[in-house]
């Protein structure tokens, strides 16, 4: 059991990672064929992962209804919606009128509503970030104020220079910071990738030793 839970996934990850790295560095046809096959298998595995996630959400809501925990009555709505939408896509296909109607006029507005709630969290984050405690926070407050005034019509009506300074802040210091963050994230991803290939990172195995 230990071999299936920990050793086998580590060896599969090592072999697959080495082949994908070699396919990037060398143009040998067998390596390219194997890497293409691995990429195709990732699509299949992603489909199984989505099915597993669907089953897990169904199980969580079923248990909530069974033990009547929290707002368990809303779990009926979630389960019925998932099952009906799944049947609509299974019978009529994802291009059918009913499927696209639900996606366009039900799912999309609900997603926009949930996403709009982030505006309140952003306001709270701005309030916390714009507290002047030191020189860095003062610069952040000044830059944030200029960008906000330069992005709305009221600010440009007060002074046209806000728009010019907003463009400079977004294109120079902000872009430089974003590039630095992207470089750091890329280096971190490379490091984690090598640790997974070498079997040093086992968090993806569910805590298996």
What confidence tens digit (pLDDT) does each residue in 155-190 have?
A: 888 898 999 999 999 999 999 999 999 999 999 999
Query: pLDDT per residue over 41-89, tens digit each?
Result: 888 988 899 999 999 999 999 999 999 888 899 999 999 999 999 899 8
94: which DSSP letter? T
* Residue 147, in any domain of the structure: yes
* Residue 30, in any domain of the structure: no
* Residue 75, in any domain of the structure: no
* Residue 153, in any domain of the structure: yes
Instruction: Supply the range of the domain harboring residue 155.
Output: 119-171
Entry pTM? 0.59
149: nearest Cα among 164, 138, 134, 136: 164
The answer to whether the beta carbons of residues 16 and 195 sit under 8 Å apart is no
* Residue 204, in any domain of the structure: no
* Residue 4, in any domain of the structure: no
* Residue 156, in any domain of the structure: yes
201: nearest Cα among 11, 10, 39, 72: 10
The answer to whether the beta carbons of residues 196 and 16 sit under 8 Å apart is no
Total domain count, the chain: 1
* Residue 56, in any domain of the structure: no
């Amino acid at each position: 059991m230990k071999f299936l839970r920990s050793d086998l996934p580590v060896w599969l990850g090592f072999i697959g990672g080495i082949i994908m790295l070699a396919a990037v560095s060398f143009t040998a046809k067998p390596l390219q064929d194997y890497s293409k096959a691995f990429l195709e298998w990732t699509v299949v595995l992603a489909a199984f992962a989505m099915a597993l996630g669907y089953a897990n959400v169904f199980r969580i809501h079923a248990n909530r209804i069974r033990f009547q925990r929290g707002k368990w009555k809303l779990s009926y709505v979630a389960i019925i919606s998932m099952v009906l939408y799944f049947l609509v896509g299974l019978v009529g296909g994802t291009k059918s009128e009913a499927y696209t109607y639900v996606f366009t006029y039900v799912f999309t507005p609900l997603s926009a509503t949930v996403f709009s709630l982030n505006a309140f969290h952003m306001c709270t984050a701005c309030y916390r970030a714009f507290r002047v405690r030191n020189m860095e926070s003062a610069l952040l407050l000044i830059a944030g104020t200029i960008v906000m005034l330069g992005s709305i019509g009221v600010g440009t009506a007060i002074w046209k220079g806000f728009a010019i300074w907003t463009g400079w802040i977004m294109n120079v210091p902000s872009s430089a910071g974003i590039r630095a963050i992207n470089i750091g994230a890329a280096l971190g991803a490379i490091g984690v990738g090598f640790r997974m290939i070498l079997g040093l990172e086992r968090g993806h195995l569910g805590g298996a030793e």
